[in-house]
Structure 1
Amino acid sequence: MKKAIVTGASKGLGAAVANHFIKNGIEVTDVSRSENSGLKGHQHYHHEKVDLGVTDEAVSFLEGWFHEQPEDLEKLYLIQNAGTVQPMETVGKMDAEAIEKTIQLNYVTPVVLSNLAFQLASEQKVELVIVNITSGAANKPNHGWSVYGSTKAALNLFTETAALEQGGEGHKMISFSPSIMDTGMQEEIRSAKQDSFAQVEAFKEYKEQGKLRKPEEVGEVLVNILLGERLINGKLYHINDYLPSTK
């Protein structure tokens, strides 16, 4: 038996990934604050209301989830999709609490859950594949995205390091970069002030010119990679290697 946990599966990319897992007969647990209205009631969809910005809640959920699994569980896909682009602001003008929340959600929680999942999966002899959703913002500085970009860069290095430690035979952890999609996060980005995020006009043009991919097609690619390819531990898989670039 194979199962998947997808954080932030109530909308956007997380919802698309959950939907494609379910189409392939894989039971999904959506870990988020709100339920996916489109999947609600489906026999292979389950929702757990968890504030992933609180370490104790995230840990309690995962411990409980593993405790409830049947003995025939063979493989778990843990898709760490939940994240935030806030605060979109220049250094010196950011709110301290907003900085802390972003680091917690984008970096601390995925690291804590990865560490715990490795432990519990090993104890229960479950094959584990973790996917950390990353961003091109991890690769270069972007005006107004100091916290978002740096948390994604840190998570990328964590992914590579964990994979190095596992080698070729242990649990697998990869990164996946979905590029720009037509999601709620993009709406947030387009609503920013230019003095807070210098590239806001460019992102408005992406929307106007139809350069934003649909989360559904990106989610399908990710699920196809996970179910159909021999994964390379620690690799950063990029959507542009599977779909034509939109830029």
Structure 2
Amino acid sequence: MSSLVWISGASSGIGATLAASVPFPDARVIDISRTGGRAGYLRQRLGQRDHDGTAEHLRADLSDPDGWSRVAMQFTAELSAYAGDRVVFIHNAGTITPIGPASDADPESYNRAVLLNSAAPQILGAAFLRASAHLTCERHLIILSSGAAKTAYAGWSSYNAGKAAVEHWVRTVGQEQPADGCRVIAVAPGVVDTDMQSEIRATDETVFPSVGRFHTLKQTGALSTPESAAAGIWSLLTRDLSNGACVDLRDL
């Protein structure tokens, strides 16, 4: 079976590991990010040799509406005459920056965070649905969420709100799909040992009062690995989940 897979934010962390561990031997993988990823290196480390370990790179800044247009145009161009068996878009890109009270945040950084965390998942998700609507093959749209969608952490206003928006968007759009439509899922991967977690732990308690919890998770070995998170996310493609489901890997 031939597969076409897009993964946003595949330059590092969970996104890079997802790109390195695509479970379809013949997949064409496209990394949507500003800098390009490390999928080849990670694929070798994981012992994956189903393809050459590289991902094509679509350069796009997803905190900039111009970047959204570039991605939407590629969705349309690639899928207009697609004759393969499976298309997948995993939207992983997001940012925890800036951390601190909304009233103290640098306006430009805050604006970019709102665009990346809240607007980009909806705009790109809708673009993928439009571009793939005519297809009859297997279609999956998976958007990464977080426990922060349900738990308000002082200092994370943009991140909290963005993940909550993702989940409600997914619930709504899942209801809109016909029986043979695209399968739309939101997934919280748990607390994963990535650069984002290092950034969180480096934050002062005065701007992020809950930082101690994340130090404890690291010290007690409670963080999951990017590899286990990626495996859990890929497993969603074959799990019996209702369309529009919002799941947490820790509950599966």
Q: TM-score, normalised by structure 1?
A: 0.90
Q: Could you report, residue by residue, the CA deviation over 1:185-213 in whole angstroms, capped at 9, with x for unpaired residues?
A: 00110011111100112211211211111
Q: Give the distance between the partners of 2:134 and 2:17, measured in 1 at CA.
A: 31
Give the C-alpha shift of residue 64 in structure 1: 2.5
Asked whether 1:219 is paired with 2:230, we answer yes
Residues in 2 aligned to 1:13 and 1:83: alpha-carbon distance in whole angstroms: 11
> Could you say which residue in structure 1 is the equivalent of 2:95?
84
Which residue matches 1:239? 249
Query: Does 56-65 or 5-14 show the bigger shift?
Result: 56-65
RMSD: 2.0
Deviation at 1:169, TM superposition (A): 3.3
Secondary structure at the counterpart of residue 47 of structure 1: strand
Separation in 2 of the partners of 1:160 and 1:208? 35
Asked if 1 retains the 8 angstrom alpha-carbon contact of 2:31 and 2:56, the reply is: yes
**In 2, Cα distance between equivalents of 1:234 and 1:68:** 25
Q: What are the Cα deviations for residues 112-154 of structure 1, in whole angstroms up to 9, with x where unaligned?
A: 1111111111145554311110010110211111111011101
Q: Classify 1:193/1:160 alpha carbon distance in 2 versus 1 (closer, same or farther; 3 Å).
A: same
2:22 aligns with 21
Asked if the contact 1:21–1:27 (Cα under 8 Å) also holds between the matched residues in 2, the reply is no
8 Å Cα contact 2:40-2:53 kept in structure 1: no
Select the residue among 109, 128, 135 that pairs with 1:98: 109
**Once structures 1 and 2 are overlaid, which stretch shifts more, 36-45 or 137-146?**
36-45
The correspondence for 2:177, drawn from 166, 171, 179, is 166
Unaligned 5+ runs, structure 2: 42-50
Give the total of aligned pairs.
241
Pick from 201, 212, 228: which aligns with 1:201?
Answer: 212
Counterparts in 2 of 1:72 and 1:187: CA distance versus 1, 3 Å: same
Question: Does the CA contact (< 8 Å) of 2:10 and 2:33 recur in 1?
Answer: yes
Q: Residue deviations 1:81-131, cap 9 Å, x none?
A: 000011111132122212211111112111111111111111455543111
What residue number does 1:245 align with?
A: none
Cross-structure match for 1:114: 125
Change (3 A) 1:91 1:43: closer
The answer to which of 129-138 and 24-33 deviates more is 24-33
8 Å Cα contact 2:136/2:180 also seen in 1:
no
8 Å Cα contact 1:134/1:152 also seen in 2 = yes
Indicate the SS of the match to 2:95.
coil
Contact map agreement 2:60 2:67 (CA 8 A) in 1? yes
**Counterparts of 1:207 and 1:89 in 2: how far apart (Å)?**
21
Question: Residue 55 of structure 2 corresponds to which residue in structure 1?
Answer: 45
Q: In the TM superposition, what whole-angstrom CA distance separates every residue of 1:34-83 from its partner, at most 9, and x where no partner exists?
A: 22234179366211111111122222233224414563223211100000
Opposite residue 77 of structure 1, the aligned amino acid is: V
For 1:16, the aligned partner's letter is T
Partner of 1:9: 10
The equivalent of 2:48 in structure 1 is none
**What secondary structure sits across from 1:132 in the alignment?**
strand
Secondary structure of the structure 1 residue equivalent to 2:236: helix
